[in-house]
């Protein structure tokens, strides 16, 4: 008997969350931010990133409303999905993400992160993300205290601390993020990925790793380098050494 197509799709979708959460076993994780890539040569960029053995790609989605900038949406992500099997970590810096969630699921995102500032009561949407088969993430901006997301942590597979104001790449790391990372690392479960985004480079990744971050979103420090593999390896090494200083 041939399985129903909707059951096949459901099975494929449910594997996304499992695939993403399995990445934790390989932490620290360097996630290149595609906001900084050359979209005029996207296929080549993906080839270079795959050759660099990066474990996943971070997709910054901006709507020009929640943040003062525009980037790309599900149509671009869907085309990107055709180019690689790397897991996609979609960071929705948009207003009303609940209206567009299905589009990002259909585009092939393995993890979908929403902002507490855009969804003050995030638990129902986080549950909906998980029910879609994707890992559920919750992000907070530099000015938002950890207390705001504390009630929703059990519904999260990923927690993202912004170490810059969201909306633009190339900003400097804000040290105040370290206190949030330390606090959150003591609050989340061992199965939750603690991520940091903004100003991550060789000079800042060590302190973020010491504070408990496991996933590091890196834009300029990867894409401004002449060798993506060398840049990613340097970041991985710095994070690994900081997280395990005795090694």
What residues pair up with 112 in beta bridges, in sequence order?
A: 90, 136
Is 197 a residue of the active site? Answer: yes
What residues pair up with 159 in beta bridges, in sequence order?
A: 138, 194
How far is Cα 7 from Cα 29, in angstroms, rounded to an integer?
Answer: 32
**The residue to which tokens 């996630």 are assigned:** 31
Answer for the pair 88, 59: CB distance below 8 angstroms, yes or no.
Answer: yes
In b/e form, how buried is each residue of 62-94, taking b as 16+ CB within 10 angstroms?
bbeebbeeebbbbebbeebbeeeebbbbbbbbb
Burial class (CB in 10 A: 0-12, 13-18, 19+), 154: exposed
Q: Which of 63, 89, 157, 197 is catalytic?
A: 197
Residue 72: name the closest of 103, 32, 46, 30 by CA.
Answer: 103
Close Cβ partners of 194 (under 8 Å, ≥ 6 residues apart): 158, 159, 161, 181, 184, 185, 188, 212, 213, 214, 215
Is 60 a residue of the active site? Answer: yes
Q: Which of 60, 63, 89, 157 is catalytic?
A: 60
Active site residues: 60, 197
């Amino acid at each position: 008997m041939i399985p129903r197509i909707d059951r096949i799709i459901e099975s494929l979708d449910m594997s996304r969350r499992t695939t993403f959460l399995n990445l934790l076993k390989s932490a620290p994780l360097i996630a290149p931010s595609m906001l900084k890539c050359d979209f005029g040569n996207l296929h080549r960029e993906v080839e270079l990133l795959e050759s660099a053995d990066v474990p996943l790609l971070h997709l910054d989605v901006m709507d020009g409303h929640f943040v003062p900038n525009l980037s790309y949406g599900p149509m671009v992500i869907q085309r990107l999905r055709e180019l690689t099997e790397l897991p996609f970590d979609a960071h929705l810096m948009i207003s009303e993400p609940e209206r567009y969630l299905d589009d990002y699921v259909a585009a092939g995102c393995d993890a979908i992160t929403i902002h507490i500032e855009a969804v003050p009561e995030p638990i129902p949407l986080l549950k909906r993300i998980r029910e879609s088969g994707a890992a559920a993430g919750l992000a907070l901006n530099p000015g938002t205290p950890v207390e705001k997301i504390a009630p929703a942590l059990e519904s999260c597979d990923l927690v993202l601390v912004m170490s810059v104001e969201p909306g633009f790449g190339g900003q400097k790391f804000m040290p105040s993020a370290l206190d949030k990372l330390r606090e959150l690392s003591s609050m989340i479960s061992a199965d939750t990925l603690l991520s940091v985004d903004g100003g991550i480079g060789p000079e800042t990744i060590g302190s973020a790793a010491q504070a408990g971050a496991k996933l590091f979103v890196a834009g300029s420090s990867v894409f401004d380098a002449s060798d993506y593999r060398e840049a990613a390896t340097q970041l991985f090494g710095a994070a690994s050494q900081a997280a395990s200083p005795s090694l």
